[in-house]
Amino acid sequence: MSAENGMSRRVALVKLGVFLNGVVGVLLAVPIVRYLLSPVTRQKKFGYESWLSLGRLEQFPAGQTRLATYRNPMVNDWDGETGNIACWVRRVDDQTFQVFAINCAHLGCPVRWFPQSSLFMCPCHGGAYYQDGSRASGPPERGLFQYRYKIEDGRLLIKAGEMPTPGQPVANKARGETAWV
Amino acid sequence: MGLIQQLGNWIDLRLQLGTSIRETAEHKVPRQTASWLYVFGSAALTCFILQLVTGILLALIYVPSAGQAWNSLQTLNHGIALGWFIRALHGWGSNFMVAVVLIHMVQVFLFGAYKFPRELTWIVGVFLFLVTLGMAFTGQVLRFDQDAYWGLGIGASIASRVPGIGPWAVNLMLGGPIIAGATLSRFFALHVFVVPGLLIAFVGLHLLMVLKLGINEWPMPGRMVRRATYIQEYHELTQKEGVPFVPDAVWKDIFFSGFILLAIAACAILFGPFGPSGQPDPTIIQTAPRPDFFFLWLYALLSFLPPSAETPILLIGPAIGILVLLALPFVAGEGEKSWKRRPIAVLTILLVVVSLGTLTDLARHAPWSPLMDAWSSQPIPDKFLQGRTALERHGALVFQAKQCHNCHSLDKHGGQRGPALDAIALRLTEDQLIRQVIQGGGNMPAYGKNLSPAETTALVAFLETLHAANQRPARNASKALVLGAREAPPR
């Protein structure tokens, strides 16, 4: 065997070795990427939302808007208080409700209800909403996000589980489920 | 031969690094670069080393768990001897690092250091700037308090606006459906492993290139950079009037780094650690989240952008900014280096500094946010109430009770979201006031459904009194003619 052939065989072995590592790399990359994408794939497969009780109907007097809190359906032990979410419940009349997300439709800051002027105001960038959640002024492009609700056994239930964000409703509509009105 | 010398020789025989370290230390640099204006790069590195050390010290106590992080910060502040001081050093070190990196960037830009052959040094520098900001943002999240929680909400809301993949980007960023344990864990991994790893790699590359290519010479007006001749000219410059980096130039770096460390320590002692503010409990909504100092300008920008332009500007703006920085050495890789002959460069810096400075200053007062408690905490000044009729005073009551004061100021008290009303009667007639109150408009909510006719009458009567004593309120001149003398103004 000539020296030249020997060299080329060794070069070929190096190339083969690099190729082998490339294959192994791809094999490892697949589970790593799936691991990293698990928050997205879970959302696509099972969704994050479920029906939750906000309490008995008597807690929400007609004509008033009250703060309610619930424990997010998907939580871990170490989530602590971050698993508790607040929302605004407006009881329009006996059977009609509006349940607004606490997050401003602009950039998600917590809006506050002012019963005296019947306005929701945002402390961050100055968004304001009327009592029915529609946009009154400021940077938001739309009204407050609303949860779907239903009444069962004298309890107010809402479909919740995911932080509402401005980009989301459109995407949800595209998938045929309008979680956020 | 001393014992230390012997030990050194023993080690160097095995390590074989002594010669190259000595050559690196004593490499020639142009005499004029041994300047107090060439110390910011090394000062940024010093800040980074301080951040590494204090960061590791904090990690001894800090718990990256959404349920525990805030408590562990309290323990650091109050339960561990001098824990507050380490936190303060890390917090102030962060601010100083961003500031020094910015100054360094401005200096190398104005001195044309990004031109041939140092294009890649500049590009790596741009990445260093971005990862430094990345460290500042992720670090702000690890201070897991109300500001961090709602700041993440803002980040998620911005991410959600990316067309097509927005909602997925939110889930990826938060590690789940809401801001919770998974969110903090991934920002911890970013802040402690990923971004510092990138930072160390980029710093290594950056330094290597500075050593290989030589420090940028002091720019002389009229001395042009040409690709064909520059390297030869630089070589001659360092040979002819070069001085060894150690000790001729390095003593200034050492002094300035020491001064920066001293300044950080002084700020840490005098002003203490940053927060944490309230607990990261999303059901506590009595909060007005504010970003850290170096993101205040963004906070102001988000308040001023018109709704229709906001999403494109938020998503495309940063990409354009980064592209401009990256493209700079390719667009202007040759030619004049001296800032004295580059007026556009100087004006660009001035424009950026003035814009960011103005936005930052505005964000410190946040005039666009309603003052949430003005209606109950800031009374109407006496001078607007003295000598008024019962109806007008009732209007003042409506003004407070309906929270008009949250957005409108009187005698500089109250919110600044809407215009100050000290002299509103000069600008709007009675009818215009009624229309504005009931229908809103011009970014004011409509109060028609929320005010009884009596309240509106009283409120407008009060607003009609808001003018200087020697000026008469605006009036509709045609009103008297249309309605007859009966409705004519009394005076």
Flag whether pLDDT at A174 surpasses 50. no
Sign of the dihedral defined by the CA atoms of residues B424, B427, B430, B434, in that order: negative
Instruction: For residue A42, tell me if it sits in a domain.
Output: no
Residues A14 and A96 in one domain: no
Flag whether pLDDT at A96 surpasses 70. yes
**B336-348 per-position pLDDT tens digit:** 999 999 999 999 9
Q: Write out chain B residues lying below 8 Å of A122, CB-based.
A: 369
Closest residue by Cα to residue B98 from B150, B58, B51, B56? B51
Asked if the Cβ–Cβ distance from B283 to A85 is below 8 Å, we say yes
Instruction: For residue A181, tell me if it sits in a domain.
Output: no
The residue segments making up the domain with residue A11 are: 3-36
pLDDT of residue B473: 87
Angle, helices B195-213/B119-142, rounded to nearest 10 degrees: 160
Could you say which of B172, B289, B370 has the minimum Cβ distance to residue A121? B370
Instruction: For residue A151, tell me if it sits in a domain.
Output: yes
CA-based nearest residue in chain A for residue B399: A117
Average pLDDT over residues A142-158: 93
Q: Write out chain B residues lying below 8 Å of A49, CB-based.
A: 177
pLDDT of residue A171: 38
Residues A68 and A134 in one domain: yes
Flag whether pLDDT at A170 surpasses 70. no
Name the residue with higher pLDDT: A177 or B461: B461
Q: Write out chain B residues lying below 8 Å of A128, CB-based.
A: 370, 445
Give the whole-number percent of chain A exceeding pLDDT 70: 89
pLDDT of residue B331: 94
Flag whether pLDDT at B178 surpasses 70. yes
CA-based nearest residue in chain A for residue B151: A109
Average pLDDT over residues B197-211: 97
Query: Environment class of residue A44 by beta-carbon count within 10 Å: exposed (0-12), middle (13-18) or buried (19+)?
Result: exposed
Query: What is the C-alpha separation between B286 and B274, in angstroms, rounded?
Result: 20
pLDDT of residue B354: 97
In chain A, how many domains are there?
2
Residues 6+ apart with CB under 8 A from B154: A107, A108, A109, A124, B289, B302
Pair of tokens at residue A140: 């938001």
Query: Environment class of residue A71 by beta-carbon count within 10 Å: exposed (0-12), middle (13-18) or buried (19+)?
Result: exposed
Flag whether pLDDT at B303 surpasses 90. no
Least confident of A38-47, A151-160, B140-149: A38-47
Query: What is the C-alpha separation between B311 and B319, in angstroms, rounded?
Result: 13
Flag whether pLDDT at A43 surpasses 90. no
Query: CATH number for the domain including A112?
Result: 2.102.10.10
Average pLDDT over residues B371-386: 88
Flag whether pLDDT at A175 surpasses 90. no
Asked if the Cβ–Cβ distance from A118 to B449 is below 8 Å, we say yes
Residues A69 and A152 in one domain: yes
Q: Distance from A169 to chain B by nearest Cα, in Å? A: 9
CATH number of B374-487: 1.10.760.10
Flag whether pLDDT at B476 surpasses 90. no
Residues A68 and A11 in one domain: no
Q: Where are the alpha helices (DSSP H) in B160-278?
A: 166-174, 181-189, 195-213, 230-241, 250-271
Which residues, listed in sequence order, are joined to residue A149 by a DSSP beta bridge?
A158
Average pLDDT over residues B403-418: 90
Q: Write out chain B residues lying below 8 Å of A87, CB-based.
A: none
pTM, entire model = 0.89
CA-based nearest residue in chain A for residue B177: A162
Q: Where are the alpha helices (DSSP H) in B334-401?
A: 343-365, 374-377, 390-401
Asked if the Cβ–Cβ distance from B153 to A163 is below 8 Å, we say yes
Average pLDDT over residues B150-177: 91
| Helix or strand run (H / E) with residue B480 | helix B477-483
Instruction: For residue A21, tell me if it sits in a domain.
Output: yes
CA-based nearest residue in chain A for residue B369: A126
Contact call for residues B296 and A96 (beta carbons, < 8 A): no
**DSSP per-residue string spanning B402-471:** TTGGGT--BTTBS--SS---TTHHHHS-HHHHHHHHHH--SS----GGGS-HHHHHHHHHHHHT-S-TTS
Candidates A54, A66, A78, partner chain B, best to mutate (most B CBs within 10 A): A78
Q: Distance from B335 to chain A by nearest Cα, in Å? A: 44
Average pLDDT over residues B289-317: 87
Sequence ranges of chain B with CATH classification 1.10.760.10: 374-487
Asked if the Cβ–Cβ distance from B162 to A117 is below 8 Å, we say no
CATH number of B27-365: 1.20.810.10
Instruction: For residue A107, tell me if it sits in a domain.
Output: yes
Contact call for residues A60 and A66 (beta carbons, < 8 A): yes
| Helix or strand run (H / E) with residue A70 | strand A65-71
| Helix or strand run (H / E) with residue A16 | helix A3-36
Residues A103 and A128 in one domain: yes
Query: What is the C-alpha separation between B383 and B204, in angstroms, rounded?
Result: 66
Instruction: For residue A14, tell me if it sits in a domain.
Output: yes
Flag whether pLDDT at A169 surpasses 70. no
Average pLDDT over residues B215-237: 93
Residues 6+ apart with CB under 8 A from B407: B370, B371, B414, B415, B416, B417, B418, B444
Residues A52 and A131 in one domain: yes
Could you say which of B177, B288, B368 has the minimum Cβ distance to residue A74? B177
Instruction: For residue A41, tell me if it sits in a domain.
Output: no
pLDDT of residue B116: 93
Average pLDDT over residues A113-133: 90
Give the whole-number percent of chain B exceeding pLDDT 70: 98
pLDDT grade for B485, boundaries at 50, 70 and 90: low
Q: Are strands A135-137 and A128-130 parallel, antiparallel or unpaired?
A: antiparallel
Closest residue by Cα to residue B70 from A159, A82, A88? A82
Pair of tokens at residue B53: 């050390």
**B419-437 per-position pLDDT tens digit:** 999 989 999 998 899 999 9
Asked if the Cβ–Cβ distance from A82 to B149 is below 8 Å, we say yes
Residues A155 and A114 in one domain: yes
Contact call for residues B64 and B184 (beta carbons, < 8 A): yes
Q: ipTM of this model? A: 0.89
Q: Write out chain B residues lying below 8 Å of A109, CB-based.
A: 150, 153-154, 289
Could you say which of A82, A109, A128 has the minimum Cβ distance to residue B280? A82
pLDDT of residue A4: 57
Q: Could you give the strand order of the β-sheet that contains A119-121, starting from the edge strand earlier in sequence?
A: A112-114, A119-121, A128-130, A135-137
**A2-36 per-position pLDDT tens digit:** 455 557 899 999 999 999 999 999 999 999 999 99
pLDDT grade for A1, boundaries at 50, 70 and 90: very low
Whole-Å CA distances, B301 to B102, B121, B309, B348? 20, 31, 12, 19
**B35-76 per-position pLDDT tens digit:** 999 999 999 999 999 999 999 999 999 999 999 999 999 999
Query: What is the C-alpha separation between B250 and B20, in angstroms, rounded?
Result: 17
pLDDT of residue B17: 92
Flag whether pLDDT at B171 surpasses 70. yes
CA-based nearest residue in chain A for residue B451: A117
Residues A121 and A144 in one domain: yes
Instruction: For residue A180, tell me if it sits in a domain.
Output: no
Query: What is the C-alpha separation between B341 and B431, in angstroms, rounded?
Result: 60
Tokens 């239903």, residue located: A150
Flag whether pLDDT at A178 surpasses 50. no
Closest residue by Cα to residue B216 from B122, B120, B111? B111
Asked if the Cβ–Cβ distance from A82 to B179 is below 8 Å, we say yes
Query: What is the C-alpha separation between B176 and A76, in angstroms, rounded?
Result: 11
Average pLDDT over residues A57-79: 92
Q: Write out chain B residues lying below 8 Å of A171, CB-based.
A: 166-167
Radius of gyration of the CA atoms of chain A, in A = 26
Tokens 């980007």, residue located: B169
Average pLDDT over residues B263-270: 98
Q: Distance from B124 to chain A by nearest Cα, in Å? A: 27
Query: What is the C-alpha separation between B283 and B129, in angstroms, rounded?
Result: 36
Asked if the Cβ–Cβ distance from A137 to B445 is below 8 Å, we say yes
Pair of tokens at residue B180: 């919770």
Asked if the Cβ–Cβ distance from A165 to B157 is below 8 Å, we say yes
Sequence ranges of chain B with CATH classification 1.20.810.10: 27-365
Flag whether pLDDT at A173 surpasses 50. no
Asked if the Cβ–Cβ distance from B150 to A108 is below 8 Å, we say yes
Mean pLDDT of chain B: 92
Candidates B145, B160, B451, partner chain A, best to mutate (most A CBs within 10 A): B160
pLDDT grade for B366, boundaries at 50, 70 and 90: confident
Average pLDDT over residues B146-157: 93
Residues A86 and A161 in one domain: yes
